[in-house]
Amino acid sequence: MTPKHKIFILLPDGIGLRNFAFSNFYKIGKEKNFEIIYWNNTPFQLSELGFDELKIKKAKTHPLTDIFKNVRKKIELHLNVQKHNDTVYHSYRFPDSYKTIKGSIKNCAINTITAFYSTEKGLKKIRGYIKDNERTTQYYKESKKTLKQHRPAMVFCTNQRPALGIAPILAAQDLGIPTATFIFSWDNLPKATMILETDYYFVWSDSMKNELQFYYPYIDEKQIFVTGTPQFENHFNNSNLLSRAEFFNQYDLDLNLRYICYSGDDSTTCPDDAYYLEDLVLAVKQLNEKGFQLGIIFRRCPVDFSNRFDWVLEKYKNVIVPLDPKWDRIGKEWNTMLPTAADLILQTNTIAHTEMVVNLGSSMVFDYVAHNKPCAFINYDVKNKTQKNWSVKKIYNYVHFRSMPSPKAVLWLNSPDEIASEIESALRDSRLTVCDAADWFKVINQHPAKLASERIWKSIQAIIS
């Protein structure tokens, strides 16, 4: 047997737990004789799962890093509009907040710096400033000390977005240790969310590989590995599946009903979610009058702890059953919400025991097609919108939807009046929709989808060899 190679799996935040702690990733790596150590900056105790971990203590970025990170994003989006003659990149900007004095000063600084550096040369300088500043931090020094002590063969970061990943990656690179990062979501690259610059990049698909080189031409093709994502692997693990009777009994569901899942978004993506859920309820009631026996399972977005659904859940409690994601809430920010292994089982069984999913442009379309089930996308604005400047048109104009090979990959709900008929059509025969959705799934994620972790470990082996 080949000698063990020590691999550090860097978790700068909780985003990577689902893909790299709660999947088969660890098990497969151990079977391949890797020594796996989680370099853990999350509150989650991975040692409780039997994993080796090194806790990162008091991780703190340079005071200017968050400012320069935001400057970098704004410059990249500005240059993308210019280079590609495409105004869609403006829609990825968040409005500046001036509610507090501190926030106002910060945003003024960001906008001033952005104005002076909005060129390719300026962007390169900003990237350099981020690295130079991070190398002066105590966090960088402690990271270097840890790496010198353990001497891993590679540092693999689970997420390309967090600034808290910069110092450990720089420390590894300065010691000559290969580094890599994983692009964690299908919509990340057009949004200019990449802050880590590693030696290698792991992406979902050939499509994402092309995106990476499109937005970051300084990244060479040899640095990119197409692996797929572990986030869909749980759908192919039958050991997680409960019987219909077990699942319905556990969550007090009616065995006489067939359920449709309404999958919520965060409040920024879909501020009118509760009203769309009500429209679905009214459509289900119409269908039930025709002899269908339907109910609705509501799965909210895991990082949405708002009370905006309370009124609709109470008003239609005889139709809607809420099954909240089993995530742990550590703080107030979205990236302090931690996924759990229990939620993977809940999500898988929710999909397995519902007929279809309804949502606004979510990647749940791929979770459902993994079970050969259809998805319906909401495609209209409610009459009394919560936010006047918000529209579904903005959502479906995002770059990642351009990967859809056929509009028939989903059912389009173009008005409240169409919901009942579209759902009836899907319940009677969804083969065409599922077939086209499967083609879309193959575009955005390397297949077979269940072998993503296997491909990641093979790529790691290729790098360190």
Domain boundary among the residues 116, 133, 150 is at: 133
Residue 373 buriedness (CB in 10 A; 0-12 / 13-18 / 19+) = buried
Domain-embedded: residue 249: yes
pLDDT of residue 98: 79
Last residue of a domain, one of 100, 133, 166: 133
Other C-beta atoms lying within 10 Å of the C-beta of residue 308: 16
149 and 126 assigned to the same domain: no
Domain assignment of residue 234, yes or no = no
Q: What is the Cα–Cα distance from 166 to 60, expressed in whole angstroms? A: 11
End position of a domain, from candidates 98, 133, 168: 133
The pair phi, psi for residue 88, each rounded to 5°, is -60, -30
For tokens 């580094």, the residue is 179
| Strand ranges inside 110-212, DSSP E | 154-157, 179-182, 200-203
Query: Does residue 235 fall inside a structural domain?
Result: no
**H or E segment to which residue 83 belongs:** helix 65-84
Quote the domain boundaries for residue 331: 241-444
Cα 439 to the chain's mean position, in Å?
20
**Same domain membership, residue 83 and residue 14:** no
Please give the Cα distance from 264 to 305 (Å, whole number). Answer: 11
ω before 162 within 30° of 0 (cis)?
no
C-beta separation of 180 from 463 below 8 A: yes
52 and 166 fall within a common domain: yes
Domain assignment present for residue 86? The answer is yes
Residues 375 and 277 in one domain: yes
Residues 266 and 330 both lie in one domain = yes
Nearest-angstrom CA–CA distance, 238 and 105:
53
Residue spans of the chain under pLDDT 70: 1-3, 330-337
State how far the Cα of 356 lies from the Cα of 377, in Å rounded to an integer. 11
pLDDT of residue 95: 81
Q: What region does 101 belong to: left with phi over 0, alpha with psi -120 to 50, or beta? A: alpha
- Domain co-membership, 37 together with 75: no
Amino acid at site 312 = V
- d(C-alpha 464, C-alpha 453), whole Å: 17
Domain tally, the chain:
3
**What DSSP string runs through 363-402?**
THHHHHHTTT--EEEE----SS-SSTT--HHHHHTSGGGG
Answer yes or no: do 45 and 187 share one domain: yes
Same domain, yes or no: 251 and 332: yes
Cβ distance 72 to 195 under 8 Å? yes
Q: What share of the chain is helix, strand, coil (3-state, %, to 5)?
A: 50, 15, 35
**89 contacts 190 by C-beta, under 8 angstroms:** yes
In terms of domains, do 356 and 260 share one?
yes
Q: How far apart are CA 454 and CA 446, in angstroms?
A: 12
pLDDT at residue 352 in the model: 97
376 and 333 part of one domain: yes
- Say whether both 296 and 186 belong to one domain: no
For residue 328, the model assigns a pLDDT of 79
For the domain that residue 453 is a member of, what is the CATH number?
3.40.50.2000
- Amino acid 454: pLDDT: 98
Does 187 share its domain with 206?
A: yes
Q: Taking the model in full, what pTM does it have?
A: 0.95
pLDDT of residue 331: 60
> Is residue 374 in a domain?
yes
What's at 250, amino acid-wise? Q
Tokens of 81: 């509009």
Determine the Cα–Cα distance for residues 136 and 171; give it in Å rounded to an integer: 11
